[in-house]
Amino acid sequence: MTTKLILAILRGDSEERVRPRLLDAGLRVTELSSTGGFLRKGSTTVLIGVEEDQIEAALNIFRETIPTPEGEADHNATIFVLNADQFTHF
């Protein structure tokens, strides 16, 4: 089975809402403080290693938990799903 890395950049308090749901689903979550964008606003980058069959469930948690902002150009999350050649726990 193929291992994937979900890299999600979350704005505002989205991380506080999504983290408990990800943990309840049995996913291991690593959080990093980050900044970015035009105004260098604070955000949280979340890293999650998953098997290919867990991707859709994880993405659904983000969809269900993170609110969609009013303006078309605004967003509360940017999510990448990347191939991971190796996934090891020590």
Q: What H or E segment, with its residue span, contains residue 60?
A: helix 55-65
Number of domains present in the structure of the chain: 1
Show the domain range for 49: 3-83
Contact of 19 with 31, CB cutoff 8 Å: yes
Distance CA 81, CA 50 (A): 10
Tell me, yes or no, whether 89 lies in a domain: no
pLDDT in tens, 4-63: 999 999 987 788 899 999 999 999 999 988 776 656 677 889 999 999 999 999 999 999
Tell me, yes or no, whether 88 lies in a domain: no
What CATH number did the domain enclosing 47 receive? Answer: 3.30.70.120
Tell me, yes or no, whether 90 lies in a domain: no
pTM of the predicted model as reported, rounded to 2 decimal places: 0.84
